[in-house]
Structure 1
Amino acid sequence: MKIQRIAAFIENGLGGNPAGVVLLDALPKNEDMQKVAAEVGYSETVFAAPDGESWTTRYFSPESEVPFCGHATIALGAVLAKEHGAGRYQLSLSEGDIDVTASMENGQSQSTLSSRPTHSEPVGETVIDEALDLFGYKRDDLDPVLPARRINAGAAHLFFALKSREQLARMHYDLAAGRAFMQRHGLVTVVFVWRESEDLFHARNAFASGGVLEDPATGAAAAAIAGMLRDEGLTGRTELTILQGADMGRPSRINVQFTAPIGSPVFVGGTSSEIEDQS
């Protein structure tokens, strides 16, 4: 089994979120994919096999399968373009279909995914208090303009906006307690953001549900954030940039575009690079 290692959403040739990418003639059993993902050790490894006009695609963290992963999809697009040529690839996920368009531009791999439809909903007060206590925040730390929400563009996330970049930088939590919280509430990640301007956000994503303390770039959450902002009338823009990973020493840039219809898919794009073999 050939495992390709790709950093997705790199910023100026650096950082990004590592993903394992495995192309196969047919997907193996779930337990075999789970074992490989655990051995690779990245936040996600994506497995894909051709099926007619589409690619059957599954994502695994070191501890569990996840329904959708943005950065692994961007990495998958880079590998598909390298091995099968630039173009648009339809992906059949466990909970629906998406697509990724990939090409080489100026010697770099560029991929853009189209997410699942978006939706969001308010969060109960007890869940908000539980989350803030877990991550060491108070109600006064929250941006009153952007309410806490449960957001989804193919995977469920809990969203909070903070008042300052300094507050974002001090995010911390216990991994085991975070895993229990996310599993209890059916969440893939908990995302905190600081909005620098109307179309520029800084983000941090806790991914304890998958056994990972933090993700340096989270395309699935980026799509869900943009969908929520649009669907609830909280932005007048159709493009956003989300910067993530700086607090981990892995700066990442996620480019997001979307159209007006409520609930419609969001387009998430970024640059990828191969990770050199460290063996």
Structure 2
Amino acid sequence: MSDLGSVLRLAAFPATPSGGNPAGVVLDARGMSDTEMQAVATEVGYAETAFVVRPPEDEKPPRVGMRYFSPVAEVPFCGHATVATAVALAERVDAEAFLFDTPVGEVRIDITRADGQVTASFTSVQPRVEPIDADVLERLLDVLGLSHDDLDADRPPREAFAGNVHPVLVLASQDTFDGFTFDPDVLRALMDERRWLGTVTVLKALGEGKEGELEARNLFPVGAITEDPATGSAAASVGAYLRDTGLLDAPTTITIHQGRHVGRPSVLRVSIPAEGGITVSGTASAID
């Protein structure tokens, strides 16, 4: 399976025609070895490539076996590649939903169609939110060139899981949010040590007149990539974080803007129920 012509390339969660997070999608990876899937993901070079290791079965909703690889390793779950795969499948299979069997468990994706566009909405596994160890938080802030004074005092740091573990930091100042920098190699070493297989999620509330809207920078140093343009698993984790910390009254819906800092504007809609998994919705479009 070395023919990269079999890899679809789609941008998930685009806010503009040139926005969204690129994902590779292999719709039939039956018979591919781990080594072959890793080689394809490495050559594609996107943050993640999704592999359908068991195509849709003849049941309702169709059940699909999924695996995800970054350019350097397998990852347990990838939200934007899930949305890209679901949109690609929905363009080929007449289904209103899919059940993805992923390494982190079953993930349901609901499909809506309007004006010729497919929207995929995945509901995460049961999330959990925990404090970040004080010494780990100090190290993370140091890597990002930040201090405790830079954090939003009303929004405490946490580790949030909704498929991948994401440390979540909320900054007080827009200038600090836009301006912080980091050494990708140093951050990668810390992420590998802590088994943060997703992204480091840094947020800024958009403020008065934009309640329920946040902007995110999702740090993901891998290969030539340093930041993710749109991160579905992080969006689900943010929803869990906001609910667990009592920063909003669920059920509700929020909007996360992402990708401005890397020139690929993206938008993710996040539905937060009173309990259970978090639902993240978006579209996907082919990359020319």
TM-score under structure 1 length normalisation: 0.94
What CA distance in whole angstroms lies between the structure 2 residues aligned with 1:207 and 1:6? 19
Which residue number corresponds to residue 150 of structure 1? 159
Which residues of structure 2 form unaligned runs of 5+? none
Q: Structure 1, residues 206-252: CA drift from partner, whole Å, max 9, x if none?
A: 11267731100001000011012112312125101000000111100
| Shift in Å, 1:50 | 2.1
Q: Which moved more, 1:265-274 or 1:93-102?
A: 93-102
Aligned sequence identity (%):
39
Q: Structure 1, residues 67-96: CA drift from partner, whole Å, max 9, x if none?
A: 111110110111001111242010001121
* Residue 34 in structure 1 maps to residue 44 in structure 2: no
What CA distance in whole angstroms lies between the structure 1 residues aligned with 2:184 and 2:65? 32
Which residues of structure 1 form unaligned runs of 5+? none
Which residue number corresponds to residue 168 of structure 2? 159
Q: State the superposition RMSD in angstroms.
A: 1.6
Q: Which amino acid aligns with 2:83?
A: I
What CA distance in whole angstroms lies between the structure 2 residues aligned with 1:164 and 1:141? 7
> Residue 215 of structure 2: which of 178, 190, 202 is its match?
202
Which residue number corresponds to residue 123 of structure 1? 132
| Shift in Å, 1:273 | 0.8
* Residue 105 in structure 1 maps to residue 117 in structure 2: no
Secondary structure in 2 matching 1:83: coil
Which residue number corresponds to residue 193 of structure 1? 203
| Shift in Å, 1:136 | 1.1
Asked whether the 8 Å contact 1:63–1:211 carries over to 2, the reply is no
Which residue number corresponds to residue 55 of structure 1? 64
Q: Which amino acid aligns with 1:149?
A: R
| Shift in Å, 1:14 | 3.4
Asked whether the 8 Å contact 1:182–1:209 carries over to 2, the reply is no
What CA distance in whole angstroms lies between the structure 1 residues aligned with 2:260 and 2:247? 26
What CA distance in whole angstroms lies between the structure 1 residues aligned with 2:102 and 2:233? 13
TM-score under structure 2 length normalisation: 0.91
* Residue 251 in structure 1 maps to residue 261 in structure 2: no
Secondary structure in 2 matching 1:75: helix
| Shift in Å, 1:159 | 0.6
Q: How many residues align?
A: 274
Which residue number corresponds to residue 246 of structure 2? 233
> Residue 6 of structure 1: which of 6, 10, 32 is its match?
10
Q: Structure 1, residues 144-173: CA drift from partner, whole Å, max 9, x if none?
A: 111110110010111100002221111321
